[in-house]
Amino acid sequence: MKITDAKVFVGGPGKNYVTLKVMTDQGIYGLGDATLNNRETLPAAYLSDYLIPNLIGKDPRNSEDMWQFMYRGAYFRRGPIAMAAFGAVDMALWDIKGKLANMPLYQLFGGKSRDSALVYAHATGSDLEALMDSVVSYQEQGYEAVRVQCGVPGMPVESYGVANRQQSDEQFITDFSGIHPKQEVWGTERYMRFMPDALAAVRDRFGPELKILHDVHHRLLPREAAEFAKAVESVGLFWLEDPTPADDQQALRLLRQHSTVPVAIGEVFNSVWDCKQLIEEELIDFIRVAVTYAGGITHVKRIVDLAALHHVRTGFHGAPSHSPLCMAAQAHLNAWAPNFGIQEYLVLGTPACDALFPSMHRMEKGRMYVSDAPGLGVDFDEAEAKRYQYKPGSHPVTRLTDGTLWNY
């Protein structure tokens, strides 16, 4: 069996999805995702300029050898751009493998460990009242778990995770205002004073059953993160996410000394080396990598297996920026993983997105039901893709109140 051609498509409804399609001499094709949010043209170029010419003529069934060729052959290792490009190739080869075996990917991993996967949505509000209303709306849809983010009194409403209701959901993650990022302001002191009480108010209002998650989004120093984690310990959070930047993985030791709050980190990681210490020292409880950003199914399965040895559960990233292809790969891993935790699920099931990516996966009442179709269980409509072009966009940048450039 040989790869005969491959194509990259950039664009989509409100998103710059980067979709790879790999064709073979047996008529079977595979799909993969390289959507690196707000830097989409770069993995697309890596695919077109280097990887696709080296795919032609290769046997698509040798996905492990291809992964090693891409990773070791690059010489300069890792990084989000390369690993997203590798991820797309890897996903496409697994998709082909599943179609050849006439099996959904979870069967190739080891079958189902559960019939459905718990997912969480994002409840948000510019103030506590609006946040409570948002939580009610998700509970009414059957969600058992919600992430809660709230505007902080005295700070501009436009802060991370606080939806500007004027913005469409599609713009929530990427404001296609062009390549120059919006500037946002962050005040740590105000946040530290306000948020523990806000989280306690959500717990008081909704009782002990609701799984409450909160995302600090890398914005506290390690000491501040330890103080915050201690302050919210009695809320009984399902997890506290990205309390402090984890480039310095040992910094999480301080938080662990002061609080038993469950910690979730990993969405910005692109390889096992970014989280090996966090996992082996058991400094986290959930690993948040995304299949696209972390080199595809082959590499993420290694991370999941390492995590399983250290009581760390999965909590794959699932922001609105993710392609249905990435979410499909994660749906199969969620069905298989013995150490599954929860799945973030914000991919907007808009008619336009469903037309571009016909999917056989199903979301119902806060749970994901994986497709039994062979391979990934998502298709790609090339005719529909012609409607979309790349539109430059950028994450906002965040500054402290004194103007210091901070973590978005």
Contact residues for ligand CS2, defined by CB under 6 A: 37, 173, 215, 217, 241, 267, 319, 321, 344, 395
- Interatomic CA distance for residues 35 and 292, integer angstroms: 7
Report what 371 binds from ligand CS2, Mg ion, none; CB cut-off 5-8 Å by kind.
none
Nearer to ligand CS2, 19 or 343 (CB): 343
- Interatomic CA distance for residues 154 and 272, integer angstroms: 39
Supply the minimum distance, in Å, between the C-beta of residue 114 and ligand CS2: 23
Which position among 122, 214, 217, 361 bears the catalytic label?
Answer: 217
Nearer to ligand CS2, 90 or 215 (CB): 215
| 7 half-sphere exposure, CB direction, 13 A CA radius | 8
Determine the 3-state secondary structure of 87 from DSSP: helix
Strand arrangement of the beta sheet that strand 405-406 belongs to: 183-186, 397-400, 405-406
Token pair for 5: 């051609």
Nearer to ligand CS2, 175 or 280 (CB): 175
Report what 118 binds from Mg ion, ligand CS2, none; CB cut-off 5-8 Å by kind.
none
- What DSSP string describes 239-257? EEE-SS--SSGGGHHHHHH
Supply the minimum distance, in Å, between the C-beta of residue 162 and ligand CS2: 12
- Closest residue to Mg ion, based on beta-carbon distance: 215
Which of 40, 95, 184, 215 lies at the binding interface for Mg ion (CB under 5 A)?
215
Determine the 3-state secondary structure of 169 from DSSP: helix
Which position among 160, 369, 390, 408 bears the catalytic label?
Answer: 160
Nearer to Mg ion, 29 or 239 (CB): 239
Please check whether residue 379 is in contact with residue 21, taking contact to mean a CB–CB distance below 8 angstroms: no
Nearer to ligand CS2, 24 or 271 (CB): 271
Supply the minimum distance, in Å, between the C-beta of residue 320 and Mg ion: 12
Query: Residues touching Mg ion: how many (CB under 5 A)?
Result: 1
- Interatomic CA distance for residues 372 and 394, integer angstroms: 36
Place of tokens 């749906």: 331
Considering only the stretches 4-12, 18-26, 208-216, 396-404, report the one whose residues sit in contact with Mg ion under the rule CB under 5 A.
208-216
Supply the minimum distance, in Å, between the C-beta of residue 24 and ligand CS2: 33
- Interatomic CA distance for residues 175 and 396, integer angstroms: 8
CA distances from 155 to 131, 150, 151 (A): 16, 11, 7
Nearer to ligand CS2, 151 or 375 (CB): 151
The CB density around residue 219, as the number of other CB atoms within 10 Å, is 23
Report what 294 binds from ligand CS2, Mg ion, none; CB cut-off 5-8 Å by kind.
none
Considering only the stretches 9-17, 207-215, 350-358, 374-382, report the one whose residues sit in contact with Mg ion under the rule CB under 5 A.
207-215
The closest of 334, 344, 377 to 116, measured between CA atoms, is 334
Supply the minimum distance, in Å, between the C-beta of residue 213 and ligand CS2: 9
Please check whether residue 69 is in contact with residue 54, taking contact to mean a CB–CB distance below 8 angstroms: yes
217 catalytic, yes or no?
Answer: yes
User: Is residue 344 involved in binding Mg ion (CB under 5 A)?
Assistant: no
Nearer to Mg ion, 95 or 215 (CB): 215
Place of tokens 């529909």: 384
Supply the minimum distance, in Å, between the C-beta of residue 328 and ligand CS2: 18
Report what 344 binds from ligand CS2, Mg ion, none; CB cut-off 5-8 Å by kind.
ligand CS2
The CB density around residue 258, as the number of other CB atoms within 10 Å, is 16
122 catalytic, yes or no?
Answer: no
- Interatomic CA distance for residues 295 and 91, integer angstroms: 9
Burial of 392 (0-12, 13-18, 19+ CB in 10 A): middle
Considering only the stretches 15-23, 106-114, 127-135, 213-221, report the one whose residues sit in contact with Mg ion under the rule CB under 5 A.
213-221
Supply the minimum distance, in Å, between the C-beta of residue 218 and ligand CS2: 8
Q: Which active-site residues does the annotation give?
A: 160, 217
Binding site for Mg ion (CB under 5 A): 215
